[in-house]
Amino acid sequence: MHLIYLVLTAAILLVNLAALGRLFSRYFADAQLARAAGTLTLLTGLFFIEHFIGLGRLSWVWPLSTLISLPILFSHWKSGGWRSELPFWLSFAYVFAWRFVFPDIDGQSEHLTDLAFVSNYLSGMQLPPIDVWLPAYRFDIYYGFLHYATALMGRVLALDAGRAMNFGFCLTIAFTISLAWSVASHFFTSRWKKGLVIAALLVGGTGVAPLLPVLYGAANSDQAAISQLWANTRFAGLYDQQINTSAGQALFPKAAPISDDAAPRELPLETLSYYIYLGDLHPPLAGFALLFFVLALMIRLENEDKAKPLAFALGASVPLLLAINAWNLPLQGLLVLGWCIYRRAGRQACYLKYLLAGAGCALALLYPFINSYAPNALSAGFALVTAEDHTPLRQGLAVWWPVLLLATLALGQGPKNRLAFWSGAGVLLLLGLMEFVYINDPLSGTYNRFNSTLKWWSWLYPAALLLLGSIVLSSPKRWQQYLAAVPLIAVCAYALPQAQYWYHHPKTSLGQFAGDGWLKNDYVHRAILNHLRVVEKGIVLEGLDGGSYTPASAFALHSGQAAALGWPDHESLWRNQAPFIQAEAGKIRAFYHASLPNADAWLKSQNIRYIVWSRFDQARGPEAFATLRAQLEPHYAWRMLVIENGIEYGVWELRS
């Protein structure tokens, strides 16, 4: 029954998005571009409006919009127009299969972070919303457009935060891949060529992918498969230090660090396929979609009659990154600037008026967001990369050889093929720039360039695979096509550890699309979660272990409540290391060890309504329970939900 519900929900989503794209097909002849442009237009407009008035729950919308969508699509689909939806539908189905089999939203990676972001926007209050990880404050410290869009979908379809997040994940990647299909379709009609480019993006890894069995052996267990999935993206500076084969150690010998400052630098590059495995609905995902939207617009402008709306959308795409993924704003700005120079050099129009008009409209619509976000944004400037922070040559070549080969082949077509020559040169220039300039954020030492490469390399790599791969595969010279296929096929070796992961990894939460299966599979935690879902809204206190990447706040988020405090390390980073956050985290830890002085006064000051005692808390400090029960008795009623071997689990509730 639950699968039927999910399929029906997906069908409603896809039908409504198809109709929205059909409405915009007048301005964007390509169905993939029209769908993306229509969605971005709708979302940006509502994002602007809700900074003035919250629209609340919107579950009444989908019946009306679906009834309107069906006649819009009927005649078009009857004549075969439904085929233009296949790139979107098939990529959605592929990612949906991943999330259906592995749906957990837990303390791993940024799962709970993203769930908190979606939860912030799910109420439909005026923006910026309350931060459910720090309820006394507004969520005005992060670029949350992707999570706003996901929550908006959840509000329309009456989804909880977990289901909204998993559906939003599928949709974001479907937009990305369908736009990649649009780019590839401009260069050739051959299905195998388009399929190869899409496969390189959807299941492919970095240049390390074909080397994984050589460096780490066969991925014949769950842990080995996971290690290889991570090694592909975190190779330079981390997994290159964990190579366990003699051949691998000969290729990448360890250099003994002279000092801590000379320790290997972690230089990650996260691919789309890695995100699909990971399940994080994080801003770089929306950055991929917007990047491919820009590339599709640029390619269509090569020979498109309806250039004005395309140029307008291209101009709007740059400021949109302020709300989507601000790290990549400089790169996308350089990309559009480079396109203008390319057009001018070829004596072609770059439609400057429409570019500026699009940018101006987007900035105007984003101004309410910028007005609240800018005063709280972390300040970080550009800096030059020092000698010890440069990418090691062998590791750099291992990661980037597919792009370097494709760029060489593109340049080899000569200046007469302007698009190929400029694209190859542009990719190499950007890669060189990233090697000498980085964003000087608060991280240092081993992580000095971590965020810069995480955001910038991960932006350039898929763009280069898509654009250069499509260009060289369309070369009139067959030998160039064959050579271009080599790196695209090679990176698809990353499909092997993905397949091994599917085979070996336990599927204990299969089909639990809300992402809470990892909690509900334990009957104690299921009882606590179900109870918190039916009680009145209030702030939930949960125990803290580490500063981040723990189960802390999971009960609150999965039950639709606010947490007294989420991950303190994350909140501290976003809020400029405000000292009170770590101080509050210390008090929570002391409380759960029954050692917090004046606990009653502190609980009252934090407006705590519910206090969870779960297996996590029992394992951390079993002796604290009896003391806490006595301390809390005057003001909190103990509700025992499960008793196991004489040990009680449940929730303290504020007495009325």
Q: What is the pLDDT of residues 361-401, one digit of tens each?
A: 999 999 999 999 888 776 778 899 998 899 999 999 999 99
Please determine, for residue 467, whether its predicted confidence score (pLDDT) is greater than 90.
yes
User: Which amino acid, residue 641?
Assistant: L
The Cβ of residue 135 has, within 10 Å, a number of other Cβ atoms equal to 20
Element containing residue 344 per DSSP (H, E): helix 329-345
Q: How far is Cα of residue 305 from the mean position of the Cα atoms in its chain?
A: 34
Query: What confidence score (pLDDT) does residue 470 get?
Result: 97
Task: Give the angle 460-474-307 at the CA atoms, nearest 5°.
Answer: 70
Whether residue 109 contacts residue 549, with contact meaning beta carbons closer than 8 Å, is answered with yes
Task: Decide if pLDDT at 566 tops 90.
Answer: yes
Query: Which contacts of 220-223 are long-range, i.e. CB under 8 A and separated by 24 or more positions?
Result: 220/500, 220/504, 221/504, 222/501, 222/504, 222/505, 222/506
Would you place residue 302 in the very low, low, confident or very high pLDDT band (cuts 50, 70, 90)?
confident
Residue 642 has pLDDT above 70, yes or no: yes
What is the DSSP code string of 112-169? HHHHHHHHHHHT-PSSS-B-TTSTTSBS-SS--HHHHHHHHHHHHHT--HHHHHHHHH
Cα–Cα distance measured from residue 354 to residue 462, given in angstroms and rounded to the nearest whole number: 27
Residue-level pLDDT at 656: 83
Question: Per-residue pLDDT averaged across 409-432, rounded?
Answer: 95
In this structure, are strands 381-384 and 539-541 parallel, antiparallel, or unpaired? unpaired
Q: What is the mean pLDDT of residues 150-163?
A: 97
| Residue 216: band (very low, low, confident or very high) from pLDDT cuts 50, 70, 90 | very high
Confidence of residue 122 (pLDDT cuts 50, 70, 90): very high
What is the predicted pLDDT for the residue at 169?
A: 98
Q: Which residues is 613 bridged to in the sheet?
A: 650
558-562: average pLDDT? 97
Give mean pLDDT, residues 585-614.
95
Percent of the chain with pLDDT over 90: 89
Residue 39 confidence (pLDDT): 97
The 10s digit of each residue's pLDDT in 477-536 is: 999 999 999 999 999 999 999 999 999 999 999 999 999 999 999 999 999 999 999 999
Percent of the chain surpassing pLDDT 70: 98
pLDDT number for residue 29 = 84
Bridge partners (DSSP) listed for residue 610 = 540, 653
Q: 539-541 and 437-440: which strand pairing?
A: unpaired
- pLDDT tens for 21-41 read 999 998 998 999 999 999 999
Closest CA to 30 of 85, 76, 89: 85
Q: List the one residue out of 135, 108, 107 whose CA is nearest residue 119.
A: 135
The 3 state secondary structure assigned to 432-453 is: HHHHHEEEECCCCHHHCCHHHH
Least confident interval from 261-265, 471-475, 596-600: 261-265
Does the structure show a pLDDT above 90 at 539? Answer: yes
- Whether the CB-CB separation of 327 and 456 falls below 8 Å is answered with yes
Backbone φ and ψ for 377, nearest 5 degrees, come out as: -70, 145
Residue type, 447: Y
Report which of 335, 326, 288 is spatially closest to residue 433, judged by C-alpha positions: 335
pLDDT, one tens digit per residue, over 47-78 is: 999 999 999 999 999 999 999 999 999 999 99
* Total-model pTM: 0.95
* Per-residue confidence (pLDDT) for residue 259, from 0 to 100: 56
Average pLDDT taken over every residue of the chain = 94
Mean pLDDT of all residues in 418-430? 96
Structure confidence by residue, pLDDT tens digits, 257-295: 555 567 889 999 999 999 999 999 999 999 999 999 999
Helix/strand/coil for 377: coil
pLDDT of residue 254: 82
Other C-beta atoms closer than 10 Å to the C-beta of 383 total: 15
Phi, psi of 196, rounded to the nearest 5 degrees: -65, -45
Residue holding tokens 């350089």?
334
